[in-house]
Amino acid sequence: MQMSTTIGDDTRQDAPPERQTKRQRQASVIADAASGGMKVFLVKLVGLGIVDALAVYAIFVLIAHDQWIPTVIVAAVTALVNWIYFSRRKLPAKYLTPGVIFLVVFQVFVLLYTGYIAFTNYGTGHNGTKEQAVSSLMASSLERVEDSPTFPVSVVEQAGQLGLLVTDPESGDAFVGTNDQPLAEVDAEFDGDAAVAADGWTTLQFADVLARTDDVTALAVPYSDDPNDGAIRTPDGTSGYLYVSNLEYDEAAGTMTDLETGTVYADTGEGAFTAENGEQLLPGWQITVGFDNFVRAVTDPRLAQPLLYVTLWTFAFALISVASTFFLGLFLAIVFNDMRMRGRKAYRVLMILPYAIPSFLSALVWAGMMNQSFGFINQVLLGGASVPWLTDPFLAKISILIVNLWLGFPYMFLVCMGALQSIPDDIQEAAKVDGAKPWAIFRLIKLPLLLVSVAPLLIASFAFNFNNFNTIYMLTDGGPRDSNAPIPVGFTDILITMVYKVAFTGQTRDYGLASAYSIIIFIVVAVISIIAFRRTKSLEELN
């Protein structure tokens, strides 16, 4: 309500004039210029200098990595920022730009990007581009070529990246390369037949090689641009051997052939090389899959069922939480809104303590107290009972609601207290004079007035609880786990904890499916907000 009113009202309420005339604008520009001394200008100059320096650095790095679109964006934004702050006009933009940049990147962009990911197969096994998938497949199936010559090698390092300095035993030329860069000829210093140092590279001493054995043995430097030529690897850091993959990549046909079995894996548009019998070589690569994730989420019965009960529970959890905290808070506000009562302040401070404590801590402590075998509630309060507070699908839900009531009632108490006290006394007195009973005063006068000011907060509270990750995750971790589902989901998961678990826990991370779930939440929250704000507007008109 406040939101809609204030926006609607601001044209007629507070003082600043609607549109200044040209002369007024010029006058204020002159006044501003006159008032800002050298110091202000210097601060501005230094600030912009730092921003520009960082931007130039960023642009160099981006160009070095061939990231052209980000380069253009960074350059454009930097130019815009400079223009805004050096311009004499653009006053509002000077104040809005810093916040808007963060907002656009870390709130608007990431939401749009979530939308994009929902339409891809991004996740474990589908993390990168097709080229990356090809080289990692080739690298993972390398086998040493029998009778291959021994290449003298030295382990070298450049900018934190390890490489191999390889000497061709036949020609005696030196080559250097890394995991990403195929061997290229370099000028090198030789010690006997073997190259030991090259310009721009630091040669690792024997002790360093020993210390980094794992990194060194993991090196596989491609022999040439063609991945089928194989790679040089070294088991000990001094002698290297040629390894070739037992997969053969045919770039023209886009197929991978297993040289041992003869199976041909083709790119069938599924984001991985697939054999005729459906067998896939992983890792694959990232592709857009259209509505696949959404279709899978609602039609695959093993996914659709969890989605259904998780969604229902999310609504139930949010609604019951709002209702229970609100009614308890309202009740307490009424009880303590009485001047005759002593010690109200003390009660209030003690009762809002649950709200003052960070909720993740409270939920963890409650989880300890509700532990079935050792917890305080079972052992002490219930004298050694063994109530499965957090491990029974139904009881776990009740426990969550109790804990969330504990976490949330002080807020509603404070809110209702404020709202009750802001209701003018004369309305009640008038009602009393007209002969209204206390209950009627409450039900017909106080409650409607209270709801007008509290309704937006109830909606906000609903939206908050709809995504109340901490309570669920810290208390039950969504458990007990549903063993039928192929994704790590439990009976007390709400949508947002399901998103988190699908994306970041378990053996396989499925970013695409998680983002699709996010989009579902997004739509639900949007619809509810629209309906709710419409409804509160009508509530407000009652006033």
Partner 1 sequence: MAAQHPVPGSQAGLIAGEIGEFPDASTRAVTSQGDGTRHIPTKRPFSFGRWFGATGWRHLVGVVMVVFSLFPIVFVVSSSLNPNGTLTGSNALFSKIGLDSYVRILSDPQVPFATWFANTLIIAGVTALGTVFLGALAAYSFSRMRFTGRRFGLVSIVVVQMFPQLLAVVAIFLLMSTIGDLFPAIGLNTHVGLIMVYLGGALGVNTYLMYGFFNTVPASIDEAAKIDGAGHARIFFTIILRLVAPILAVVALLSFIASVNEFVVASVLLIDTENQTLAVGLTKLVSNPRYADWSAFSAGAVMAALPVVALFLFLQKYIVGGLTAGAVK
Residue partners of 471: CB distance under 8 A and separation at least 6: 359, 363, 400, 403, 404, 407
The one among 223, 313, 336, 389 contacting partner 1 by CB under 8 A: 336
Nearest distance in Å: CB 332, partner 1: 6
The one among 367, 487, 494, 498 contacting partner 1 by CB under 8 A: 367
- 379: Cα separation from own chain's centroid: 39
Nearest distance in Å: CB 535, partner 1: 15
Q: Which runs of consecutive H residues, i.e. helices, occur in 386-510?
A: 393-421, 425-433, 438-440, 447-466, 469-475, 495-504
Is-contact 514 488, C-beta < 8 A?
A: no
Per rule CB under 8 A, is residue 7 in the interface with partner 1? Answer: yes
Is 112 or 145 the residue whose CB approaches partner 1 more closely? 112
The one among 137, 176, 457, 498 contacting partner 1 by CB under 8 A: 457
Nearest distance in Å: CB 245, partner 1: 26
Per rule CB under 8 A, is residue 315 in the interface with partner 1? Answer: no
Residue 180, classed as helix, strand or coil, is coil
Is 114 or 280 the residue whose CB approaches partner 1 more closely? 114
Per rule CB under 8 A, is residue 456 in the interface with partner 1? Answer: yes
- Residue 528: burial class (beta carbons within 10 Å; 0-12, 13-18, 19+): middle
Q: Where are the beta strands (DSSP E) in 106-236?
A: 142-144, 151-158, 161-167, 174-178, 184-185, 188-191, 194-198, 202-203, 221-222, 231-233
Residue partners of 114: CB distance under 8 A and separation at least 6: 515, 518, 519, 522
Residue partners of 504: CB distance under 8 A and separation at least 6: none
Instruction: Tell me the CA end-to-end span of the chain in Å, nearest whole number.
Output: 12
- Residue 203: burial class (beta carbons within 10 Å; 0-12, 13-18, 19+): middle
Is 39 or 301 the residue whose CB approaches partner 1 more closely? 39
The one among 50, 53, 72, 98 contacting partner 1 by CB under 8 A: 98
The one among 197, 447, 460, 539 contacting partner 1 by CB under 8 A: 460
Query: Phi, psi at residue 489, to the nearest 5°?
Result: -130, 150
Q: Which residue has the tokens 């109830």?
A: 458
Is 210 or 357 the residue whose CB approaches partner 1 more closely? 357
Per rule CB under 8 A, is residue 275 in the interface with partner 1? Answer: no
Sheet holding 247-250, edge to edge: 247-250, 255-258, 264-267, 273-274, 280-281
Nearest distance in Å: CB 172, partner 1: 37
Per rule CB under 8 A, is residue 470 in the interface with partner 1? Answer: yes
Is-contact 133 283, C-beta < 8 A?
A: yes
Best CA proximity match to 194, nearest among 156, 236, 166, 222: 166
Is 12 or 261 the residue whose CB approaches partner 1 more closely? 12
Residue 481 carries which DSSP code?
B
For the chain, the 3-state helix, strand and coil shares in percent, each to the nearest 5, are 55, 15, 30
Q: Tokens at residue 136, please?
A: 């990692």
The one among 105, 295, 385, 531 contacting partner 1 by CB under 8 A: 105
For the window 16-55, what string marks contact with partner 1 as x by the rule CB under 8 A? xxxx--------x--xxxxxx---x---------------
Is 35 or 483 the residue whose CB approaches partner 1 more closely? 35
Nearest distance in Å: CB 467, partner 1: 6
Which residues within the stretch 481-540 sit at the binding site for partner 1 (CB under 8 A)?
496, 499-500, 503-504, 511, 514-515, 518, 521-522, 525-526, 529
Per rule CB under 8 A, is residue 266 in the interface with partner 1? Answer: no
CB atoms within 10 A of CB 482: 20
The one among 51, 77, 91, 320 contacting partner 1 by CB under 8 A: 91
Is 233 or 501 the residue whose CB approaches partner 1 more closely? 501
Is 252 or 356 the residue whose CB approaches partner 1 more closely? 356
Strand partners, 177: 164
The one among 38, 69, 252, 356 contacting partner 1 by CB under 8 A: 356
Is-contact 194 169, C-beta < 8 A?
A: no
Which residues within the stretch 403-442 sit at the binding site for partner 1 (CB under 8 A)?
406-408, 410-411, 414-415, 417-425, 428-429, 432, 438
Q: Using CA atoms, how far apart are residues 149 and 241, in angstroms rounded to an integer?
A: 7
Is 245 or 453 the residue whose CB approaches partner 1 more closely? 453
Per rule CB under 8 A, is residue 467 in the interface with partner 1? Answer: yes
For the window 56-75, what string marks contact with partner 1 as x by the rule CB under 8 A? --x--xx--x-x--------
Tell me which stretch binds partner 1 (CB under 8 A): 177-185, 203-211, 227-235, 329-337. Answer: 329-337
Tell me which stretch binds partner 1 (CB under 8 A): 113-121, 225-233, 247-255, 258-266. Answer: 113-121
Is 184 or 356 the residue whose CB approaches partner 1 more closely? 356
Which residues within the stretch 124-153 sit at the binding site for partner 1 (CB under 8 A)?
none
Is 3 or 79 the residue whose CB approaches partner 1 more closely? 3
Residue partners of 277: CB distance under 8 A and separation at least 6: none
